[in-house]
Structure 1
């Protein structure tokens, strides 16, 4: 470990009191297939906040207390002795995904998601293992990449969850340039989704419940925006504006109501509802609508080592930038409060010295 200290600061969630605690914990050592990274930036995702909320969507807490955070970038400090880990060198600026202990080779890992690895051993850093709101972390070399030129290690952290998720949420709609896409939820994920959609040549409608988020959508290039709370005719207006409805609606929110409202703005017979955001409650879909082909429903893989690189390279090529408001590690509870109260704009992150 050289001149590294033996301990580090970490923001850890404790299920016993449902709170965060700033603890001193040992700095881990990388195993053969791992890399030790000094975290440069860790950003907050809504999935992190779900730890504090009751939910029935399969979110599982592992060790307790656990360092939260699954979205980060950093600088390589040391590597394990394995062939993949050895490809990285000290000082590399890297980003990584949080799935570990999986094989990365089975059909599920390669084409579905690491969560469904055939070994059944997958764990998620930030939930079942310590995550990234700490000064150092070990990450799996197989789920790590050197940042493309043009991406800053202290601002690119949101791209390694929100970015990959938003990119594939939009790309997997398989639209053609000039078609209409509705971005439902223009916050941490959606403001990136707007940028990706514009870069792909789509006509973009931003939909949210706060004017702050809609202003962000406009700044990111949205052609039109609608507040679904204050504008009672927003669905009718979108159908009229698009000549029948959007070709795809990508829902980045954790709101069940937003899913209930989405079919009314989708072009009948051709349109797609893309499921990305995860509400606390299960979704309710009208079986007759699906059976008769009123609209299609699809999900988008939110990030594996096999699809993160295209998202990051596209981001660098098209200058896709997350709106990142930065905080100190001890301010993470404040960040959680802001996200819970829907007062955050873009993404919030801790930047480490």
Structure 2
């Protein structure tokens, strides 16, 4: 059960831009504002976007404070709440999961229909980047971004659902394809291994593509119908077109590889195919204007989660017993997790489970 801490400080893994490294710091336990809840963290997991803090990028990551506690995927139990009516609907001990946008209005068109990042106020902060995140013993979260977990979801194991899960679910669902369609899941790691499970639960035929044998094996475990190692098989694109009789109906790209995006047009069905952008490479993406103008394929994006589409994904996960495959570490081992992710040596998701 969650309970108020007796101590006043906590351990937190904080990124410091001055030396581009993580430091395990002792910092004050935060106090929830009126609209917030204080959570004793049960689990926090690493997303590739977290690792992008350490590398140059021109894709819009903003560091709003320094040092900053990293991590934007988390679950835990409520220990206290702010004084607001919504915050007080949560009770001590409630198992909760939550998303990471704070200081936005949640009411404008962008917040309700697109993403909180484009809130009309221009004040949005993202925990783990421009506000403190979840690789800490406690965290405050906006009550509007939190839900009580379904009974079969464990707060010590469900953190990846609250970025990877919501993102992967909508990466598949937002293609809006009928059951029986052919989907290529590109990248079978922390996001892709969940995307495969969602696609199969929705009744699709799934082709999984990755560059490592470990990821390919993970894809098979998750139910992929066919798998291709694009580094080992030079004819993989031709084989996919033949297998699907013209190409997949959607190529859902969960990777941060620009080359993998460059390869997508060759495997989508002409006139019917969708290239779904989920993963974010360091470099800008390039698509042929004539291809798009003549309808060879569509390029779409999928929201990585708002409080308005989170519940659908989490409840679907609980109903279909879709769970993240998470390798667990201690809080002091977060730098090791980053190293493993950058070396493509991680299977599924990596996360910290707190006592």
Q: Same fold (TM over 0.5)?
A: yes
DSSP 3-state at the match of 2:133: coil
Partner of 1:114: 116
| Offset of residue 326 of structure 1 | 0.1
Taking the aligned partners of 2:59 and 2:38, their CA distance within structure 1 comes to: 31
DSSP 3-state at the match of 1:37: strand
Partner of 1:212: 214
Which of residues 111, 116, 128 is equivalent to 1:126? 128
Taking the aligned partners of 1:208 and 1:21, their CA distance within structure 2 comes to: 32
Which of residues 81, 84, 109 is equivalent to 1:82? 84
Note the alpha carbon deviations across 1:266-325, whole angstroms, 9 max, x for none: 000001000000000000110010011111110011100000000000000000010000
Q: CA RMSD in A?
A: 0.8
Taking the aligned partners of 1:302 and 1:256, their CA distance within structure 2 comes to: 19
DSSP 3-state at the match of 1:12: strand
Note the alpha carbon deviations across 1:152-201, whole angstroms, 9 max, x for none: 11111000000000000000001111110000000000000000000000
- Please identify runs of 4+ aligned residues in structure 1 that moved more than 2 A: 1-4
Partner of 2:312: 310
Partner of 2:251: 249
TM-score (norm 1): 0.99
Taking the aligned partners of 1:172 and 1:218, their CA distance within structure 2 comes to: 23
Partner of 1:295: 297
Contact 2:249 2:273 in 1 (8 A): yes
Taking the aligned partners of 1:152 and 1:194, their CA distance within structure 2 comes to: 21
Taking the aligned partners of 1:262 and 1:287, their CA distance within structure 2 comes to: 15
Relative to structure 1, is the Cα distance of residues 74 and 292 closer, same or farther in structure 2, using a 3 angstrom cutoff? same
| Offset of residue 62 of structure 1 | 1.1
Taking the aligned partners of 2:270 and 2:150, their CA distance within structure 1 comes to: 40
Relative to structure 1, is the Cα distance of residues 2 and 70 closer, same or farther in structure 2, using a 3 angstrom cutoff? closer
Taking the aligned partners of 2:79 and 2:6, their CA distance within structure 1 comes to: 9
Taking the aligned partners of 2:174 and 2:114, their CA distance within structure 1 comes to: 13
Contact 2:45 2:351 in 1 (8 A): yes
Structure 1: stretches of 5+ with no match in the other structure: none
Paired residues, number: 353
DSSP 3-state at the match of 2:104: coil
Taking the aligned partners of 2:95 and 2:118, their CA distance within structure 1 comes to: 29
Please say if 1:267 is aligned against 2:279. Answer: no
Partner of 1:321: 323
Which of residues 5, 8, 11 is equivalent to 1:9? 11
TM-score (norm 2): 0.99
Taking the aligned partners of 2:93 and 2:111, their CA distance within structure 1 comes to: 29
| Offset of residue 4 of structure 1 | 2.6
Note the alpha carbon deviations across 1:54-75, whole angstroms, 9 max, x for none: 0000101111110000000010
DSSP 3-state at the match of 1:49: helix
Structure 2: stretches of 5+ with no match in the other structure: none
Which of residues 32, 37, 45 is equivalent to 1:30? 32
